[in-house]
């Protein structure tokens, strides 16, 4: 039992040191590796396969709403980046600059895209002439680069994978409707696929995207009580259209500016999965994004007939789930620990005694609950337990989120929650950036969003006591 013990002992407990636990899981579950390029990571097979499942299911949801995929260049000439004032101020300090092509210096330096609003605007300014060319509802899957000082696997790295949708519409109403539509796609995806409840709301002006008129966000709560911004959807109004001269001729033959949106989700979602569902044995993957949903572990596999039966069950299960058989020469205890570390939702144990009894043992990763089931019913039961696990994981995460969402109607309550409990704080706010900044400076908590579902908790701002304008979710965030 020495070896499997070792594998488990290598993880720090999450209550003891959450950041270290996170780093342990990320590396021991084989999701990521560090590279010679500071701040950039390798997405290893186990990590990339989660991203593939996210991509596939999100892309299907996009296409169902009429999104078309495209690919634009990774480089942005400096003059193009500078066309929209707020945007360049937001991004210029953190881009990587290409100055040479081959052996020659470039006439104009280019940055590696930190996001592609400027490129899409340049493209749309040529593509859009008439109302017949609208709407444009394009998306691209790619990587972007932001030269961050501090990096953490999945949560903040100098290069990361994402999708970025960029749309152009005839009217302001249509742009606003698309902005909200995509936020809802994100929220439903997080809840239905990642089993992660989210709060939908609008960012304050201080926290909105560089160049946006309005930024909407979905905010999730991690196991340690910190918030994670999990997806954003921006309405640009006609600001970019004016900066890039994107005009169309309407039905009355008049020139009009288009109204634009953009929206993005990133590999940061994998970090969210880890921090919402993981435990002290490692990763716990929601079945819908588990690259392997079932691991079959044979017991006493050298005994005649065991591996054959295990392989037979694998073939049978493969018709309906993503299943693997661990027939390596490690001992079963080690295999169990490894399957748990990697977050594989179900384990099916099968040994000589089981075969004799015509049954196998199913073990759930999240609850460790064991179910003994006959071979005939195995397939049906596996699918049933996977579906149940997906639902239970969402309910458990929601319970945790709700238990860690507190209301503060006084500044004393507010600081007390942050010092002793963490989590989301719902509180009233006067609407000034002055107060917002003061709260951040004094406590480290930021405005996460002004939720769509507003309560009237009190008449006054939790910080300054002046008349309140909005209920806000506050929290310390990744």
Nearer to a second copy among residue 23 and residue 458 (C-beta): 23
**Part in contact with a second copy (CB under 8 A); list of ranges 142-150, 163-171, 233-241, 331-339:** 142-150
**Part in contact with a second copy (CB under 8 A); list of ranges 87-95, 177-185, 339-347, 424-432:** 87-95
CB of 436 to a second copy, least distance (A): 26
**Cα 165 from Cα 342, distance rounded (Å):** 32
**Part in contact with a second copy (CB under 8 A); list of ranges 139-147, 207-215, 249-257, 464-472:** 139-147
Pick from 10, 20, 35, 367 the residue near a second copy by CB under 8 A. Answer: 35
Residue 244 burial (CB < 10 Å; 0-12/13-18/19+)?
buried
Strand partners, 214: 235
Closest CA to 120 of 160, 153, 168: 168
CB of 358 to a second copy, least distance (A): 33
The single-letter DSSP state of residue 82 is T
**HSE of 469, CA atoms in CB hemisphere, 13 A:** 9
Find how far residue 243's CA is from the centre of its chain: 31
Binders in 412-431 for a second copy, by CB under 8 A: none
CB of 198 to a second copy, least distance (A): 26
CB of 78 to a second copy, least distance (A): 11
455 near a second copy (CB under 8 A) = no
Reduced to 3 states, what is the DSSP secondary structure of residue 180?
Answer: helix
**Part in contact with a second copy (CB under 8 A); list of ranges 32-40, 207-215, 309-317, 449-457:** 32-40
Pull the structure tokens for residue 478: 């990744």
DSSP string, 278-309: -BTTB----GGG-SS-EEEEESSTTSTTHHHH
Pull the structure tokens for residue 211: 């160049």
Pick from 15, 17, 52, 416 the residue near a second copy by CB under 8 A. Answer: 52
Pick from 69, 315, 367, 374 the residue near a second copy by CB under 8 A. Answer: 69
Pick from 12, 57, 142, 392 the residue near a second copy by CB under 8 A. Answer: 142
DSSP string, 207-236: GS-TT-SEEEEEEEE-TTS-EEEEEEEEEE
CB of 123 to a second copy, least distance (A): 6
Nearer to a second copy among residue 161 and residue 275 (C-beta): 161
Pick from 25, 26, 76, 214 the residue near a second copy by CB under 8 A. Answer: 76
For the chain, the distance separating the N- and C-terminal CA atoms, rounded to the nearest angstrom, is 38
Nearer to a second copy among residue 279 and residue 327 (C-beta): 327
326 near a second copy (CB under 8 A) = no
Binders in 111-130 for a second copy, by CB under 8 A: 112, 119, 122-123, 126-127
CB of 6 to a second copy, least distance (A): 16
Distances from the Cα of 256 to the Cα of 272, 477, 478, angstroms: 41, 40, 40
110 near a second copy (CB under 8 A) = yes
**Cα 180 from Cα 261, distance rounded (Å):** 10
Pick from 73, 305, 444, 467 the residue near a second copy by CB under 8 A. Answer: 73
Pick from 49, 172, 318, 460 the residue near a second copy by CB under 8 A. Answer: 49
Closest CA to 163 of 51, 82, 241, 273: 51
Here's the x/- map for a second copy, 155-194, by CB under 8 A: it reads as ---xx-x---------------------------------
Nearer to a second copy among residue 36 and residue 420 (C-beta): 36
Phi, psi of 257, rounded to the nearest 5 degrees: -80, 145
**Cα 221 from Cα 403, distance rounded (Å):** 11
Q: Which residues of 421-441 are buried (b: 16+ CB within 10 A; e: fewer)?
A: ebbbbbbbbbbbeebbeebbe
Binding-site size for a second copy (CB under 8 A) equals 51
Q: Which residues of 22-56 are buried (b: 16+ CB within 10 A; e: fewer)?
A: bbbbbbbbebbeeeeeebebebeebbbbbbebbbe
CB of 307 to a second copy, least distance (A): 19
Nearer to a second copy among residue 40 and residue 460 (C-beta): 40
Phi, psi of 160, rounded to the nearest 5 degrees: -145, 160
89 near a second copy (CB under 8 A) = no
138 near a second copy (CB under 8 A) = yes
Element (H, E) at 327: none
Contact residues for a second copy (CB under 8 A)? Answer: 33, 35-37, 40-45, 48-49, 51-52, 68-77, 80, 93-103, 110, 112, 119, 122-123, 126-127, 138, 142-143, 145, 147, 158-159, 161
């Amino acid at each position: 039992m020495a070896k499997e013990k070792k594998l488990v002992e290598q993880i720090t407990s999450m209550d003891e040191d959450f950041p270290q636990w996170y780093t342990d899981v990320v590396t021991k579950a084989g999701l990521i590796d560090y590279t010679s390029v500071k701040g950039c990571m390798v997405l290893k097979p186990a990590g990339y396969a989660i991203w593939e499942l996210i991509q596939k299911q999100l892309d299907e949801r996009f296409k169902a709403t009429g999104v078309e995929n495209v690919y634009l260049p990774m480089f942005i000439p400096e003059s193009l980046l500078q066309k929209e004032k707020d945007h360049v101020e937001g991004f210029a300090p953190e881009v990587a600059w290409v100055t040479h092509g081959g052996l020659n210096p470039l006439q104009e330096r280019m940055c590696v895209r930190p996001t592609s609003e400027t490129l899409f605007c340049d493209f749309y300014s040529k593509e859009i002439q008439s109302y017949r060319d609208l709407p444009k509802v394009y998306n691209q899957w790619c990587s972007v680069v932001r030269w961050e000082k501090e990096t953490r696997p999945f949560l903040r790295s100098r290069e990361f994978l994402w999708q970025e949708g960029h749309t152009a519409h005839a009217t302001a109403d249509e742009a606003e409707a698309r902005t909200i539509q995509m936020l809802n796609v994100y929220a439903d995806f997080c809840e239905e696929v990642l089993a992660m409840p989210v709060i939908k709301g609008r960012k304050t002006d201080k926290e909105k995207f560089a160049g946006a008129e309005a930024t909407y966000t979905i905010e999730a709560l991690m196991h340690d009580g910190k918030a994670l911004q999990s997806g954003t959807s921006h309405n640009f109004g006609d600001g970019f259209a004016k900066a890039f001269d994107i005009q169309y001729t309407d039905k009355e033959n008049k020139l009009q500016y288009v109204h634009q949106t953009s929206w993005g989700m990133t590999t940061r979602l994998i970090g969210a999965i880890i921090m919402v569902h993981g435990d002290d044995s490692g990763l716990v993957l929601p079945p819908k994004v588990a690259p392997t949903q079932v691991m079959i572990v044979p017991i006493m596999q050298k005994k005649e007939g065991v591996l054959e039966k295990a392989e037979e069950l694998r073939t049978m299960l493969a018709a309906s789930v993503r299943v693997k058989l661990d027939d390596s020469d490690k001992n079963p205890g080690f295999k169990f620990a490894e399957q748990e570390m990697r977050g594989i939702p179900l384990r099916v144990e099968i040994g000589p005694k089981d075969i004799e009894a015509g049954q196998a043992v199913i073990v759930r990763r999240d609850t460790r609950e064991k179910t003994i089931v006959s071979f005939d019913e195995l397939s049906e039961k596996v699918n049933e337990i996977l579906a149940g696990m997906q639902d239970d994981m969402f309910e458990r995460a929601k319970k945790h989120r709700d238990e860690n969402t507190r209301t503060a109607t006084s500044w004393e309550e507010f600081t007390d929650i942050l010092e002793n409990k963490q989590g989301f704080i719902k509180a009233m706010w006067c609407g000034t950036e002055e107060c917002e900044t003061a709260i951040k400076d004094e406590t480290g908590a930021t405005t996460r969003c002004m939720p769509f579902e507003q309560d009237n908790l009190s008449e006054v701002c939790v910080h300054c006591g002046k008349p309140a304008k909005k209920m806000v979710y506050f929290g310390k965030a990744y």
